[in-house]
Structures are given as C-alpha cells and as structure tokens.
Amino acid sequence: MGADLLHELAADHVALTNYTAALQGTPLGHPERRVLVQGAARLLAAHAAAEEAYLYPLLRTLPGGDKDAADAAQRRTAQMEAVLRELDRLDVHSPQFDRLVAQFTELASAHQRGDEANLYPVVKSCASTQQLSELGERARELKAEAGRTHVRTEPPADTYQHGEPSLGEKLRLLFTNRGGWQRWQPR
C-alpha cells in the first residue's frame, strides 16, 4: 500500500515548489519557462482533482472539519489554475508573463502553507489511518487519469504592487493631455 492521502498531496506540493523554483531560476524569456508552466499546470490539474474529490469533501464531513477552510483552499487553487491558463496564452518574452510567474509562485506557496498548516492537521486528527490510506490509493488513481481538463472560471486577484513612477513618467504625465497639461492651459 502506498502513501496516505495527506502524504500524496504533500508530495504534490513539493513537486509544485520544484516547478516554481525552476521557473524563478530560468532566465527571463527562455523557452524552457513555457515547458515549466505547462508541467506545473498538469501537476496542479491532477492535484486539484484529488483535493476536490477527496480532501475537501472529507474536511467538510468530518466532525472537527472546517467547511470555510475547505472553501478558502478551493478558491486559492482556482486562482492558481487561472494564472496558469493566462500564462499559457502569453509569450515568454512578455513582461506580463514574468509578473504572472511571480504571482503564481506566491499563490502556490500560500496554497502549500495553508493546506499543510490548517487543513492537514484537522484531517489527520479526525480521520482514521485506514480511511486516509484508502483515499490515498484513490487519489493516485485519479491523478493518473487527470489531465488539463480541470477548468475553473474564477480570475486571479491581481496583487502586484507597482513601484513609484519615475521622474520621466511624472513629467510625461504632467505635460501631456492625459496627465494634466490641459489644466495649466488658459481657457
């Protein structure tokens, strides 16, 4: 018998962390970044399918389970999937691609921390070892079949913080119609 459900999902988190580390370590604009995004998307699709089929229902039905925590984790996963779909449509040379890679890395890290710190301890304390082992076997089977057909519609939150505009940008805004030149002209 293989790993239980929690170990199976935690192994996916490690693999997802490896993808994000490789994305961060690959030079900007390198074609390998596209391959890494596609690999992360396949992994996340299978991982999300297993979570939705086994982890979240278990968490919602256990006596000490937390439906709100399961819903929040499901939303985080949906955001990661949406970012990966957007990355799949962009050119690797696009600045937007690099920004979304950073956003995906942040979301993946939050997902891992949230699941392993908040959900897994609750499930481990409330579910039997036998139940977790059986669900681990089912999760492995499901993940083997899962592909990129696991689709979400929730768009990601854009949490990218833009820096202070440069002096040139401030001057351009001040002395163009878009930025404020009209307010200085006599009427």
Inside any domain, residue 174: no
Inside any domain, residue 9: yes
Inside any domain, residue 76: yes
Higher per-residue confidence, 61 vs 178: 61
Domain of 19, CATH number, reads: 1.20.120
Backbone angles phi, psi at 62, to 5 degrees: -65, 150
Inside any domain, residue 186: no
Inside any domain, residue 89: yes
**According to the model, what pLDDT value does residue 65 have?**
72
How far apart, in whole angstroms, are the C-alpha atoms of residue 77 and residue 94?
24
Residue 70 has pLDDT above 80, yes or no: yes
**According to the model, what pLDDT value does residue 151 have?**
42
Write the pLDDT tens digit of every residue in 140-182: 999 888 754 444 444 445 555 566 667 777 777 777 765 555 5
Inside any domain, residue 184: no
**According to the model, what pLDDT value does residue 170 have?**
74
Inside any domain, residue 20: yes
Contact 86, 102 (CB under 8 A): no
Q: Which domain holds residue 22?
A: 5-167
**Residue 160 token pair:** 């990218």
**According to the model, what pLDDT value does residue 186 have?**
53
Write the pLDDT tens digit of every residue in 10-52: 999 999 999 999 998 999 889 999 999 999 989 999 999 999 9
- Distances 170 to 32, 65, 158, 166, 173 between C-alpha atoms, Å: 37, 52, 24, 6, 5
Write the pLDDT tens digit of every residue in 82-98: 998 999 899 999 989 99
Inside any domain, residue 18: yes
**According to the model, what pLDDT value does residue 68 have?**
85
Burial class (CB in 10 A: 0-12, 13-18, 19+), 109: middle
Looking at the 3D structure of the chain, how many domains does it have?
1
Higher per-residue confidence, 151 vs 99: 99
